[in-house]
């Protein structure tokens, strides 16, 4: 099976982990601090706070931003984490729609949705394509109030907009190191910010509510990253450029060789440099069942395709926070969208096999549907 995703792990990560295991320091050590500092430097931020995963990074950031009891605007096409994190932080998520071409939160819908109740807007750089951060800030200011922006760059390490790295756009930005992301620590996440007070509040919340003087000042849990994870992360970070370069080559092949098919790809702003975290396609015909048949057919031929993402507007977990805004584009992309294998271990031959298989499966489902 040609896998949808495959982490770029080699002997370097294995040796880094072995080195940690041979010490007594498995948590709260030097490597987590180094990983935080290196990621902050790469994204041009003052502080990095490493945590156990991306969802926790979102929830701790939202809590530190004081969203309790308030409204948080979230795009309706994504993994549920940003909306669930809002709930975990005691806020009410409001779903808004995405842009038809870029599949990121639509500034027009943000302008229509924002009210005095809105404390925070989550701008996701979906699948590594930067959101239109400046336009969003202008759109959000329509009512004279200025909600804060959290950049969910879970998928976007290595992407940039106008030369500015993703991870630098929000009052807090977060990154995920889940194995589907461009670099991984197994599970892991990071909050990035320039605000020292916010950084301190997030640090306290990840570590039982302990402040820098060693006092338990708030009642919180444990969301720390281990030294083992940080060792993997540092080894991965050293390879980021190489990983992204290979992903860009593969994505360029897919775009060139599949462009005549009845499919849409995700567009990006002109000044965007994308990391190609996911390669999404949306079928121009059929519905969810056609898309599912298409995925099953490709899998039966040895190519692992997957559904692209989720329409949060239909999740039972978020129904109590409705009514949400109409989100037809998110529904459409979720029902007809699928992802192609993309990772730095794919050989040129495998990329050709994916292209041939997609072409064959499209012919198959088109003739079935006729």
Ligand X SMILES: Cc1ncc(COP(=O)(O)O)c(C=O)c1O
Interatomic CA distance for residues 218 and 324, integer angstroms: 33
Residue nearer to ligand X on the CB measure, 165 or 286? 165
Residue nearer to ligand X on the CB measure, 56 or 357? 56
* Residues within window 64-93 making contact with ligand X, judged by CB under 6 A: 78-79, 81-82
Query: Nearest distance from residue 75's CB to ligand X, in Å?
Result: 9
Q: Is 181 a catalytic residue?
A: yes
Q: If residue 84 lies in a helix (H) or strand (E), which one and from where to where? A: helix 81-88
Query: Nearest distance from residue 122's CB to ligand X, in Å?
Result: 9
Residue nearer to ligand X on the CB measure, 119 or 150? 150
Interatomic CA distance for residues 159 and 232, integer angstroms: 21
Q: Which two tokens stand for residue 9?
A: 């792990």
* Residues within window 172-191 making contact with ligand X, judged by CB under 6 A: 176, 178, 189
Interatomic CA distance for residues 246 and 206, integer angstroms: 35
Closest CA to 93 of 335, 330, 325: 325
The H-assigned helical ranges of 126-239 are 133-140, 196-206, 227-237
Query: Nearest distance from residue 308's CB to ligand X, in Å?
Result: 11
Mask: binding to ligand X, 226-265, rule CB under 6 A, as x and -?
Answer: ----------------------------------------
Residue nearer to ligand X on the CB measure, 105 or 305? 105
Query: Nearest distance from residue 10's CB to ligand X, in Å?
Result: 22
Report the length, in residues, of the chain. 370
What per-residue string of b and e applies to 35-54 under the rule 16 or more CB within 10 Å gives b? bbebbbebbebebbbbbbbb
Q: Count Cα neighbours of 41 within 13 Å in the Cβ-side half-sphere.
A: 8
What per-residue string of b and e applies to 272-284 under the rule 16 or more CB within 10 Å gives b? bbbbbbbbbbbbe
Q: Which two tokens stand for residue 156?
A: 């976007």
Interatomic CA distance for residues 80 and 16, integer angstroms: 33
Residue nearer to ligand X on the CB measure, 91 or 124? 124
Residue tagged active-site, from 46, 181, 213, 242: 181
Q: 249: how many CB neighbours lie within 10 A of its CB? A: 14
Among 155, 160, 272, 283, binds ligand X (CB under 6 A): 155
Query: Nearest distance from residue 54's CB to ligand X, in Å?
Result: 3
Interatomic CA distance for residues 124 and 126, integer angstroms: 5
Query: Nearest distance from residue 113's CB to ligand X, in Å?
Result: 19
Question: In whole angstroms, how far apart are CA 4 and each of 121, 275, 312, 344?
Answer: 31, 16, 23, 11
Give the residue at shortest CB distance from ligand X: 54
CA 315 to chain centroid: 19
In this chain, which stretch among 16-24, 33-41, 107-115, 152-160 interacts with ligand X, using CB under 6 A? 152-160
Query: Nearest distance from residue 128's CB to ligand X, in Å?
Result: 10
Phi, psi of 337 (to 5 degrees): -90, 145
In this chain, which stretch among 38-46, 151-159, 206-214, 226-234 interacts with ligand X, using CB under 6 A? 151-159
Residue nearer to ligand X on the CB measure, 80 or 269? 80
Residue nearer to ligand X on the CB measure, 105 or 346? 105
Among 40, 76, 124, 334, binds ligand X (CB under 6 A): 124
* Residues within window 10-69 making contact with ligand X, judged by CB under 6 A: 53-55
User: Interface residues with ligand X (CB under 6 A)?
Assistant: 53-55, 78-79, 81-82, 124, 152, 154-155, 176, 178, 189
- Residues forming the active site: 181
């Amino acid at each position: 099976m040609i896998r949808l995703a495959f982490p770029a792990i080699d002997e370097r990560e294995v040796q880094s982990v072995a080195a940690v295991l041979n010490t007594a320091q498995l948590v709260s050590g030097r490597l987590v601090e180094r990983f935080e500092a290196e990621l902050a430097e790469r994204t041009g931020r003052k502080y990095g706070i490493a945590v156990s995963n991306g969802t926790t990074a979102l929830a701790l950031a939202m809590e530190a931003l004081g969203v309790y009891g308030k409204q948080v605007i979230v795009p309706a096409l994504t993994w549920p984490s940003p909306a669930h994190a809002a709930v975990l932080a005691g806020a009410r998520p409001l779903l808004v729609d995405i842009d038809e071409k870029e599949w990121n939160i639509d500034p027009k819908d943000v302008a229509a949705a924002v009210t005095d109740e809105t404390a925070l807007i989550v701008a996701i750089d979906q699948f590594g394509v930067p959101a239109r951060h400046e336009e969003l800030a202008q759109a959000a200011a329509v009512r004279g109030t200025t909600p804060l922006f959290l950049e969910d760059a879970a998928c976007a390490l290595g992407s940039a907009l106008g030369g500015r790295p993703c991870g630098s756009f929000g009052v807090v930005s977060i990154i995920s190191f889940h194995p589907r992301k461009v670099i991984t620590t197994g599970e892991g996440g990071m909050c990035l910010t320039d605000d020292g007070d916010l950084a301190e509040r997030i640090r306290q919340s990840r570590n039982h509510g302990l402040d820098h003087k060693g006092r338990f000042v708030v009642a919180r849990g444990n969301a720390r990253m281990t030294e083992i994870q940080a060792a993997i992360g540092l080894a991965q970070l050293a390879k980021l450029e190489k990983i992204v370069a290979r992903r860009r080559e593969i994505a360029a092949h897919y775009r060139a060789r599949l462009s005549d098919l009845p499919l849409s790809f995700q567009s990006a702003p002109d000044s965007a440099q994308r990391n190609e975290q996911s390669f999404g396609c949306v079928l121009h015909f059929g519905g969810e069942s056609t898309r599912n048949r298409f995925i099953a057919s490709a899998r039966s031929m040895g190519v692992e395709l997957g559904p692209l993402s989720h329409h949060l507007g239909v999740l039972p977990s978020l129904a109590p926070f409705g009514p949400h805004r109409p989100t037809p584009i998110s529904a459409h992309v979720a029902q007809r969208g699928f992802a192609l294998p993309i990772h730095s271990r794919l050989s040129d031959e495998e990329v050709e096999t994916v292209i041939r298989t997609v072409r064959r499966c499209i012919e198959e489902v088109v003739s079935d549907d006729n």
